[in-house]
Amino acid sequence: MKRITTIIILCLTLFTTKAYAKTGDVVGNIYSTDIKAYINGVQVESYNIGGKTCVVVEDITNQFAYADDIRTLTIWDFAPEYLISKKITYTKKSGIPVGKIYETDIKTYFRGNKLTAYSLNGKMAIAIEELGNDNTFSDIGGKYIWNEEERTINLEMMYRYSSKLHDMLREKTLNMVINEKDGKLVAEFVPVAITNGSILGGGIRPDNSIIPVFYENEIIGYQGRFPYMELIHGEDNKYTLIENEYQESVDYYYLDKISKIIASFSPVKPTSEEWLTYYEQNLYTVKQKFETDEYVFLYMSQPNTHGGTHFLVKIDKEIGEPIHYDSAFKSVSLYGQKYFEDVVVDEQNEKVYLHYDYDYVIDLKTNEVKIKES
């Protein structure tokens, strides 16, 4: 009877402590872990919180927004190109306290879902086990695989854009078109210059679903749609978090599988006329065009659901192969978009001047892209 009474008193004490904890109060500990954590193949630093493998949002990605006036952290994406890799050398034993958890009123959201989050005195931690399901995709597009022998947890999180996939396809001048056949989504690889759709065109994305994409009866990726939470900055200089009226479309593919498929294709070499026809048929808007006997230079924009992006392309008339100068500029956009300003073509000297993060000059004769000297 005494043991039962003691347990009841302990439970009431814990409940009372939690109920009256104020923002900033210490409510628990963070512990070291020997588990190696990976998100989309990128190793990230992790901790043990309450028996779960947790990562600190601000330390693993720059794809988030914080609105202090509504005490809300919104995570945008876990695309590998935006993750911050950190190779961990474990020098401490697992289970050693390495920090404190603080009571917080900050709410953390991802794809319309409020996540359990822990305040680590200025930063927010979330559990991998809550982002995904064990070996199956969760409603927010996450799946983790636990390896007891290697002490690793690998999270596959569907993301919205893969610049690496686009680069691989562009290198072989291929397009991956998704069609519905016999109730399944099936990928087809065709020369990009003879298609009437942009790279990764086609497919269906019903609401709140994750659909596998096949190539020769093997799953090479998934397509899905998820609620899109958006931070709106109002005229009163305050933020509002709303669920957007449309759901975001996500294409998630296994790059190792697709790279092998693409490697089996011989490079396609469309003519310069075919390339010009392709750009004219694929929603590209030519903002500036410069043509010589040897090449055609095009400064173009292409609209998409997230606003659009710009391209700087030179097409060699003899060999037909386009050079994408825009590839020399790293996108800072969530969707891989690039916007060039003050683009001026110096036709006499065959140079292009533009502004991105700095002022640049492109030499159309040598194809050199460099920062313009003051």
Q: Does residue 359 sit within a domain?
A: yes
Residue 95, Ramachandran bin (φ over 0: left; ψ between -120 and 50: alpha; else beta)? left
Q: Does residue 339 sit within a domain?
A: yes
* Shared-domain flag, residues 110 and 184: no
* Shared-domain flag, residues 184 and 323: no
Instruction: Give the pLDDT confidence of 110-160 residue by residue, as tens digits.
Output: 988 899 999 997 899 999 999 999 999 998 899 999 999 999 999 999 987
Q: Does residue 257 sit within a domain?
A: yes
* Strand order through the sheet with 359-363: 341-346, 351-355, 359-363, 368-371
Looking at the structure of the chain, the number of domains it has is: 3
* Shared-domain flag, residues 367 and 279: yes
Final residue in a domain of this structure, among 241, 263, 285: 263
Q: Does residue 187 sit within a domain?
A: yes
* Shared-domain flag, residues 6 and 152: yes
* Shared-domain flag, residues 223 and 309: no
* Shared-domain flag, residues 110 and 254: no
* Shared-domain flag, residues 294 and 210: no
Instruction: Give the pLDDT confidence of 309-342 residue by residue, as tens digits.
Output: 899 999 999 888 789 999 999 887 766 789 999 9
Instruction: Give the pLDDT confidence of 67-84 residue by residue, as tens digits.
Output: 888 899 999 889 888 898
Q: Print the domain residue range for 285.
A: 272-371
Phi and psi at 78, nearest 5°, equal: -125, 35
Contact criterion met (CB below 8 Å) for 314 and 292: no
pTM: 0.69
* Shared-domain flag, residues 97 and 151: yes
CA distances from 111 to 78, 95, 131 (A): 11, 32, 10
Q: Does residue 220 sit within a domain?
A: yes
Q: Does residue 70 sit within a domain?
A: no
Contact criterion met (CB below 8 Å) for 222 and 203: no
Buried/exposed code over 64-74 (b: 16+ C-beta within 10 A; e: otherwise): bebbeeeebbb
